[in-house]
A = this chain, B = another copy of it.
Amino acid sequence: MAKIPTPASDAATPPAGGPGPARRDLTDAPLIAAAHGRTPSRRPVWFMRQAGRSLPEYRRVREGIGMLESCFTPDLACEITLQPVRRHDVDAAVLFSDIVVPLKAAGVDLDIVAGRGPVMAEAVRTRAGVDALPRLLAEQVGPVAETIRLLVGELGRVPLVGFAGAPFTLASYLVEGGPSRNHEHTKALMYGEPDTWHALMGLLTDNTVTFLRAQIAAGVDAVQLFDSWAGALSLADYREYVKPHSERVFAEVAGAGIPRIHFGVGTGELLAEMADAGADVVGVDWRVPLDDAARRIGGGQAVQGNLDPAVLFADAPTVRRKAVEVIDAGERAVRAGAASHIFNLGHGVLPDTDPDMLTRLVEWVHEY
């Protein structure tokens, strides 16, 4: 079912730092057409984390520059975002950023530690800690908006996907104080102090909306909400403690009329709810075949995915064969009611991936 873009006043506010450019009319770009349920001129393909460590030119420009510093340096973030577009002929650029960027911009004391991930100076586990968290102002992400304006000027007909971490995933980083395998403090807070939990999620939802609206005002053509850790939750807990907040994020950026993508890893049990939270496109990891995913979602939305990023470490014929399996499952997904299929990996590009294999994969997807 096609969704008709409608102009929205909430996305018309220019970000701090000057008015954004008028949004490019990319109605016919394959990614945008597919996301809106129309037939694309070719099968769209892009990769989560396509801008990053798999590319030697990325490692070169990042030398001696911290991750967060890179995200807040428009020239550099623009260059890094463009690198995979030049190389791979992908159907979208994805903004080079990190899910903790809006936290950092708002003033939370954190750093991204190489080999570990985002680490907070202080874990947030009490009501007082939640109440002390800062509210994000659009002007605090001015450098991100500036990066987007630069990109819009460079990208020609290639759409730009903006993104944000979902409230649950951000909450886990704040409550655990860093990356966590088991999310034990997050869950203890969620179950034991639901009022504090929902206050935390409410604030993170506000900040996420502010961040996405700033990206939209600056010119992104689609947004993806990454709920990286949602797969750690049962369906009942996702419904009670998480979904209402992610749903509000999607509702508050709906007016822009641009495609909204929702993705998490290990979310086979949650797909119907993640779709129902208001996404136009549901990202699926490699554990669930796309046609199964379409049946769980119930039709009407596009599916995105889901080649296992580990497959790219095999030989070329194997990669091609597994990619064809994904494309075939994507076609069955459309027959099962999905609005369309956007080819992607089932998770981000792994750092040691051979970038030439990614280039060939894009060719195969486009030729098939």
Task: Report chain B residues within 8 Å CB of A308.
Answer: 187, 234
- Smallest CB gap from A348: residue in B: B182
* A62 on interface, CB distance cutoff 8 Å: no
Q: Is A192 touching B315 in the complex (CB atoms < 8 A)?
A: yes
Q: Which of B188, B287, B352 is A234 in contact with, Cβ under 8 Å?
A: B287
* A142 on interface, CB distance cutoff 8 Å: no
How many copies of this protein are present in the complex?
A: 2
Chain A 296-317 interface residues, beta-carbon cutoff 8 Å to B: 308-315
* A266 on interface, CB distance cutoff 8 Å: yes
Whether A313 touches B187, Cβ cut-off 8 Å, given contacts A234-B289, A269-B287, A289-B234, is: yes
- Smallest CB gap from A266: residue in B: B266
A186–B236 Cα gap in the complex (Å)? 33
A314–B194 Cα gap in the complex (Å)? 11
Task: Report chain B residues within 8 Å CB of A248.
Answer: none
Task: Report chain B residues within 8 Å CB of A233.
Answer: 287
Q: Is B268 touching A309 in the complex (CB atoms < 8 A)?
A: no
Q: Is A184 touching B269 in the complex (CB atoms < 8 A)?
A: no
Q: Which of B191, B235, B322 is A191 in contact with, Cβ under 8 Å?
A: B322
Task: Report chain B residues within 8 Å CB of A272.
Answer: none
Chain A 171-196 interface residues, beta-carbon cutoff 8 Å to B: 182-188, 191-192
Q: Report A47 CB to chain B, min CB distance, Å.
A: 15
A248-276 near B? 1/0 per residue, CB < 8 Å? 00000000000000000010110000000
Q: Is A289 touching B236 in the complex (CB atoms < 8 A)?
A: yes
A310–B190 Cα gap in the complex (Å)? 11
Q: Which size bracket describes the interface of A in this complex?
A: 20 to 34
Q: Is A288 touching B313 in the complex (CB atoms < 8 A)?
A: no
Task: Report chain B residues within 8 Å CB of A236.
Answer: 289
Q: Is A185 touching B289 in the complex (CB atoms < 8 A)?
A: no
Q: Which of B182, B191, B311, B315 is A314 in contact with, Cβ under 8 Å?
A: B191
Q: Which of B182, B191, B269, B318 is A268 in contact with, Cβ under 8 Å?
A: B269
A231–B286 Cα gap in the complex (Å)? 11
- Smallest CB gap from A317: residue in B: B192
Task: Report chain B residues within 8 Å CB of A186.
Answer: 310
A314–B308 Cα gap in the complex (Å)? 35
Q: Which of B231, B315, B322, B352 is A184 in contact with, Cβ under 8 Å?
A: B352
Q: Which of A185, A268, A287 has the most CB of B within 10 A?
A: A287
Q: Report A290 CB to chain B, min CB distance, Å.
A: 11
Q: Is A182 touching B234 in the complex (CB atoms < 8 A)?
A: no
Task: Report chain B residues within 8 Å CB of A286.
Answer: 234
A-B contact pairs, 15 of them (CB 8 A): A184-B309, A184-B312, A184-B350, A187-B310, A187-B311, A187-B313, A188-B310, A188-B311, A188-B313, A191-B311, A192-B315, A231-B287, A234-B287, A236-B289, A268-B269
A contacts, CB < 8 Å to B: 182-188, 191-192, 231, 233-236, 266, 268-269, 286-289, 308-315, 318, 322, 347, 350, 352
